[in-house]
């Protein structure tokens, strides 16, 4: 291990927040991840691209504890071994995740969705007897403002449009106030205007959070203007600015197309 940062010391911008080394996962002989190694620094925003089956979603599953790696190390904040924790514990550590398919609680209102996501107690009895305090309500209002859903606060999430659901989910991530956000294809199925808006939203978020975005949409990735990691067959093919990786022969070969 190359990391010696003790957990107690707060990370400075530029220090490694997320660290994956030699992670492999296989399903029935198919290697979804194959010796994947990469790091994300505190405060960084990173885009991950790659063809279907490159292992992007599996990588997110591994980071969030949904899938256990067969081999390899996954560390968060320097010393926390994520492979030993479950989803809830990892979420409580400050890793938020947005799914590819927008997953919001459809039978809850927009407000309740955010209220559930709001950072705070997660244990059964405090939740049973507790109520969201004024500070919490203020934060929800704030987030509603950010995701432009204030006027829909009492609507059922089921009634939102596709783009609104995506935003609501991003809003839920904000309410969680995580140190690291994992965002899986946030603009899939969005109109161009919505896509632009989402890019703006993510950049805003990236000001005070580390973000990993998985995306297919090259325009969107260009809009974000961040470092790009290209995955292929479960490992890193290239890394650098979008222009840099676009120039890479192999990336063009497997992904961008000639």
Partner 1 sequence: MITAFLLRGLDRRALVFLAVLAAVAVVVPLLNLATPAGSGLHIPSYAVTLLGKYLCYALLALSVDLIWGFCGILSLGHGAFFALGGYAMGMYLMRQIGTRGVYGNPVLPDFMVFLNWKTLPWYWHGFDQFWFAAVMVLLVPGLLAFVFGWFAFRSRVTGVYLSIITQAMTFALLLAFFRNDMGFGGNNGLTDFKDILGFPIQDEGTRAGLFVATAVALGLGYLIASCVVRSKLGRVLVAVRDAESRTRFLGYRVEMYKLFVFTLSACMAGVAGALYVPQIGIINPSEFAPANSIEVVIWVAVGGRGTLIGAIIGAILVNFGKTWFTGVLPELWLFALGGLFVAVTLLLPKGIVGTATALWRGRRWRGPAATGEGTLAESGGDAEPPAAAPAAGPAAPERAS
Partner 2 sequence: MLFRPPAIRRSRRPATRGLPGLLLLLGCLALFLAAGAARAQEAGDLRPLVDALGQGGFDFDKTETAIGSLAETGDPRVVPALEALSEGDLYVRKADHAVFIGKRGGAGYQLTDPLTGEAAGEAARGAVDKIRVNNNLRRAIRTALGGLTLRSRDPAQRRAAVQSVFDAADPEALEPLEAALAAEKDPGIAELMREARARILLNTPSADAGDRLDAVETLRARGDRDALAALSGLVAAPDGKVDPALRAAAAKAAGAIKENLALWEAAQNVWYGLSLGSVLLLAAIGLAITFGVMGVINMAHGEMVMLGAYTTFVVQQAIRGWAPELFAWSLWIALPLAFLVSAAVGAAIERCVIRFLYGRPLETLLATWGLSLMLQQAVRTLFGPTNKEVGAPDWMSGATHVGGLLITYNRLYIVIFALLVFAALLVLLKRSAFGLQMRAVTQNRRMAASMGIRTPWTDMLTFALGSGIAGIAGVALSQIDNVSPNLGQGYIIDSFMVVVFGGVGNLWGTLVGAFTLGIVNKFLEPYAGAVLGKVLVLVFIILFIQKRPRGLFALKGRAVDQ
Write out the residues near partner 2 by the rule CB under 8 A.
27-28, 30, 32, 57-58, 66
Total residues in contact with partner 1, by rule CB under 8 A: 40
Nearer to partner 2, 152 or 232 (CB): 232
Question: Binding string to partner 1 for residues 76 to 105, with x set by CB under 8 A, is what?
Answer: ----------xxx--xx---xx-x---xxx
| Residue 172 within binding range of partner 1, rule CB under 8 A | yes
DSSP 92-125: HHTEEEE-SS----TTSBHHHHHHHHSSS--SHH
R_g over Cα of the chain:
18
| Residue 116 within binding range of partner 1, rule CB under 8 A | yes
Nearer to partner 2, 64 or 198 (CB): 64
| Residue 132 within binding range of partner 1, rule CB under 8 A | yes
Cα three-residue angle 105-51-182, rounded to 5 degrees: 35
Nearer to partner 2, 39 or 100 (CB): 100
Structure tokens belonging to residue 115: 């209220």
Which residue blocks in the chain are alpha helix, DSSP H?
56-63, 87-93, 110-117, 124-129, 134-146, 162-176, 192-206, 218-224, 242-246, 249-251
CB of 1 to partner 2, least distance (A): 29
Handedness of CA 66, 72, 76, 79 (dihedral sign): positive
Stretch binding partner 1 (CB under 8 A), from 19-27, 152-160, 188-196, 249-257: 152-160
Task: Say how many C-beta atoms besides its own lie within 10 A of residue 75's C-beta.
Answer: 20
Nearer to partner 2, 30 or 125 (CB): 30
The contact set with partner 1 (CB under 8 A) reads 64, 66, 86-88, 91-92, 96-97, 99, 103-109, 112, 115-117, 122-124, 127-132, 152, 154-156, 158-161, 172, 176
């Amino acid at each position: 291990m190359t990391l010696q940062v003790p957990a107690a010391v707060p990370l400075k911008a530029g220090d490694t927040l997320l660290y994956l080394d030699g992670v492999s996962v296989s399903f029935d002989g198919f290697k979804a991840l194959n010796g994947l190694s990469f790091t994300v620094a505190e405060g960084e925003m990173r885009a991950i691209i790659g063809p279907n089956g490159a292992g992007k979603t599996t990588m997110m599953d591994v980071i969030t504890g949904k899938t256990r790696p067969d081999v390899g190390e996954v560390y968060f904040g320097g010393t926390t071994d994520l492979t030993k924790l479950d989803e809830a514990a990892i979420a409580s550590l400050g890793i938020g995740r947005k799914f590819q398919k927008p997953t919001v609680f459809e039978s809850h209102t927009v407000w309740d969705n955010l209220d559930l996501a709001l950072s705070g107690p997660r244990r059964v009895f405090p939740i049973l007897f507790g109520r969201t305090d004024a500070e919490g309500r203020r934060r929800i209002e704030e987030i509603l403002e950010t995701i432009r859903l204030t006027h829909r606060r009492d609507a059922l999430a089921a009634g939102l449009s596709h783009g609104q659901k995506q935003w609501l989910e991003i809003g839920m991530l904000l309410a969680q106030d995580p140190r690291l956000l994992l965002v899986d294809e946030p603009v899939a199925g969005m109109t161009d205007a919505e896509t632009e808006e989402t890019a703006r939203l993510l950049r805003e978020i990236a000001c005070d959070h580390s973000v990993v975005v998985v995306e297919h949409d090259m325009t969107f990735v260009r809009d974000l203007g961040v470092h790009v990691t290209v995955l292929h067959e479960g490992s890193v093919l290239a890394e650098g600015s979008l222009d840099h990786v676009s120039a890479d022969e192999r990336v063009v070969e497997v992904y961008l197309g000639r």
